[in-house]
Amino acid sequence: MLISQPRIPAAAHCTLPVMETTQHHHPAPAAPVGPPPAPIAGTETATLNIEGMTCASCSNFVEKALSRTPGVKSATVNLASEKATIEYLPGQIDRAGLRAAVEQAGYGVHEASPAVAANVLASDEELDARKAAAYENLKRRFQVAVALAVVVMGLSMLMLWPAMMSRVSMPVLNYVLLALTLPVLLYSGREFFVSAWNGFLHRTASMDTLIAVGTGAAFLYSLAATLIPGWFRQHGIMPEVYYDTTATIIALILLGKVLESRAKSKTSAAIKALMGLQAKTARVVRGGQEMDVPIEQVLVGDEVLVRPGEKVATDGLILTGRSAVDESMLTGESLPVEKKEGDNVFGATLNKTGSFRFRVSKVGAETMLAQIVKLVEEAQGSRAPIQQLADKVSAVFVPVVIMIAIATFVVWFDFAPEASRVPLALVGFVAVLIIACPCALGLATPTAIMVGTGKGAEHGVLIRNAEALEKAEKVTTVLLDKTGTITRGEPAVTDFVPTNGDTPAHLLPLLAAVERQSEHPLAEAVVRYADAQGAAAGTTPLTATAFQAYEGRGAGATVDGQVILLGNRRLLSENNVVLSSETEQAAAQLLSQAKTVLYAAIGGHVAALIGVADTVRESSLAAIQALQADGIEVVMMTGDNQQTAAKVAEQVGIKRFFAEVLPADKASKVKELQAEGRVVAMVGDGINDAPALAQADIGLAMGGGTDVAMEAAGITLMRSDLQGVVTAIDLSRQTMRTIKQNLFFAFIYNTLGIPIAAGLLYPFTGWLLSPMLAAGAMALSSVSVLTNSLRLRGYQAKA
Amino acid sequence: MDTSQIIVTLVGVGLLAFVGWFFFLAPHRVAAAVSSLAGVQQVDIVVKGGYSPNVIEVEHGKPVQLNFYRDEEGTCSEELLLPDFNIRRDLAPFKTTAIEFLPKQAGTFEFTCGMHMLRGSLVVK
Residues 434-473 on A with a CB inside 8 Å of B are: 438-439, 441-443, 446, 465
Eight-state DSSP code of residue A482: I
Maximum mean pLDDT: which of A111-120, A325-334, A390-399, A745-754: A745-754
DSSP labels for A135-194?
Answer: HHHHHHHHHHHHHHHHHHHHHHHHTTSHHHHHHS-HHHHHHHHHHHHHHIIIIITHHHHH
User: How many pairs of residues across A and B have Cβ atoms under 8 Å apart?
Assistant: 245
CA nearest A375 in B: which residue? B86
CA nearest B80 in A: which residue? A381
β-pair partners for A303: A285, A359
pLDDT tops 80 at residue A242: yes
The 3-class secondary structure across A229-289, one letter per residue, is HHHHHHCCCCCCCCHHHHHHHHHHHHHHHHHHHHHHHHHCHHHHHHHHCCCCEEEEEECCE
The pLDDT, as a whole number, for residue A686 is 62
Q: Any chain B CB within 8 A of the CB of A27?
A: yes
Q: Any chain B CB within 8 A of the CB of A628?
A: no
The residue among B86, B94, B100, B102 with the most chain A CBs within 10 A of its CB, best to mutate, is B86
Q: Any chain A CB within 8 A of the CB of B95?
A: yes
**Which residues of chain B have a CB within 8 Å of the CB of A465?**
86
**Which residues of chain B have a CB within 8 Å of the CB of A120?**
none
The pLDDT, as a whole number, for residue A116 is 35
The pLDDT, as a whole number, for residue A34 is 38
What pTM did the predictor assign?
Answer: 0.76
**pLDDT (tens digit per residue) in A289-318:** 888 888 888 888 889 999 888 889 899 999
Q: Hey, are the CB atoms on A442 and B46 less than 8 Å from each other? A: no
| Partner residue opposite B19 with nearest CB, options A5, A35, A399 | A399
| Partner residue opposite A80 with nearest CB, options B69, B100, B101 | B69
Maximum mean pLDDT: which of A306-320, A499-513, A517-531: A306-320
pLDDT band at A479; cut points 50, 70, 90: very high
Angle at A748 between CA A204 and CA A759, to 5 degrees: 80
Q: Which among A138, A121, A66, A127 is positioned nearest to A99, based on CA atoms?
A: A66
Catalytic residue annotation of A:
481
CA nearest A438 in B: which residue? B115
Angle at A586 between CA A583 and CA A588, to 5 degrees: 110
Q: What CA–CA distance (Å, rounded) separates A197 from A109?
A: 37
CA nearest A24 in B: which residue? B97
Yes or no: say if A369 and A121 are a contact pair by the CB < 8 Å rule: yes
**pLDDT (tens digit per residue) in A321-366:** 888 888 888 887 777 888 888 888 988 888 888 889 999 998 888 8
The pLDDT, as a whole number, for residue A55 is 62
Q: To the nearest whole angstrom, how far is the Cα of A511 from the nearest Cα of chain B?
A: 55
Q: Hey, are the CB atoms on B116 and A395 less than 8 Å from each other? A: yes
Tell me whether 0.85 is exceeded by the ipTM: no
Task: Say how many CA atoms lie within 13 Å of A447 toward its Cβ.
Answer: 32
Lowest mean pLDDT among A16-20, A474-478, A623-627: A16-20
CA nearest B3 in A: which residue? A414
Q: What CA–CA distance (Å, rounded) separates B85 from B76?
A: 21
Lowest mean pLDDT among A15-19, A540-544, A558-562, A735-739: A15-19
Q: Any chain A CB within 8 A of the CB of B121?
A: no
Q: Any chain A CB within 8 A of the CB of B14?
A: no
Residue A25, φ and ψ in degrees, nearest 5: -60, 165
Yes or no: say if A783 and A256 are a contact pair by the CB < 8 Å rule: yes
Yes or no: say if A430 and A406 are a contact pair by the CB < 8 Å rule: no
The pLDDT, as a whole number, for residue A634 is 94
Distances (CA, A) of A75 to A48, A91, A354, A362, B33: 11, 17, 56, 35, 20
How do beta strands A715-717 and A698-702 pair? parallel
Q: pLDDT tens track of chain B, all 125 residues?
A: 788 889 999 999 999 999 998 888 876 666 776 777 667 888 888 888 888 888 888 888 888 888 898 888 777 788 898 888 888 888 888 888 888 888 888 888 889 888 788 888 888 88
Q: What is the mean pLDDT of residues A209-217?
A: 91
**CB neighbours of residue A114 within 10 Å:** 9
**pLDDT (tens digit per residue) in A167-197:** 777 788 889 999 999 999 999 999 889 888 8
Q: What is the mean pLDDT of residues A79-85?
A: 69
Q: Hey, are the CB atoms on B42 and A3 less than 8 Å from each other? A: no
End-to-end Cα, chain A, rounded Å: 65
Q: Hey, are the CB atoms on B44 and A19 less than 8 Å from each other? A: no
**CB neighbours of residue A233 within 10 Å:** 11
DSSP labels for A490-520?
Answer: EEEEEEEEESSS--HHHHHHHHHHHHTT---
**Which residues of chain B have a CB within 8 Å of the CB of A19?**
95
Q: What CA–CA distance (Å, rounded) separates A762 from A312?
A: 68
**Which residues of chain A have a CB within 8 Å of the CB of B13?**
410
The pLDDT, as a whole number, for residue A616 is 83
Residues 19-78 on B with a CB inside 8 Å of A are: 19-20, 22-24, 26, 28, 33, 35-40, 42, 44, 46, 48-52, 54, 62-65, 67, 69, 71-76
Yes or no: say if A595 and A557 are a contact pair by the CB < 8 Å rule: no
Burial annotation A291-326 (CB, 10 A radius, 16+ → b, else e): eebebbebeeebbbbbeeebbbbbbbebeebebbbb
Burial annotation A540-570 (CB, 10 A radius, 16+ → b, else e): eeeebeebebbeebbbbbbbeeeebbbbbbe
pLDDT tops 60 at residue A19: no
Contacts of A514 (CB under 8 A, 6+ apart): A544, A547, A555, A556, A557, A559, A564, A566
CA nearest B117 in A: which residue? A395
Yes or no: say if A35 and B71 are a contact pair by the CB < 8 Å rule: no
Which helix (H) or strand (E) segment is A771 a member of? helix A771-790
Q: Hey, are the CB atoms on A81 and B1 less than 8 Å from each other? A: no
Residue A671's SS3 state is helix
**pLDDT (tens digit per residue) in A549-608:** 887 788 888 888 888 888 888 888 888 888 888 888 888 888 877 778 888 888 888 888
Query: Average model confidence (pLDDT) for chain A?
Result: 82
Provide the residue type at A386 as one letter: I
The pLDDT, as a whole number, for residue A663 is 78
Provide the residue type at A349 as one letter: T
Q: What CA–CA distance (Å, rounded) separates B30 from A508?
A: 80
| Partner residue opposite A6 with nearest CB, options B9, B37, B118 | B37
Maximum mean pLDDT: which of A180-194, A474-488, A610-624: A180-194
Eight-state DSSP code of residue A80: T
Q: To the nearest whole angstrom, how far is the Cα of A283 from the nearest Cα of chain B?
A: 34
Q: To the nearest whole angstrom, how far is the Cα of B55 from the nearest Cα of chain A?
A: 13
**pLDDT (tens digit per residue) in A484-501:** 788 877 788 888 888 877
Q: To the nearest whole angstrom, how far is the Cα of A439 from the nearest Cα of chain B?
A: 6
Eight-state DSSP code of residue A486: I
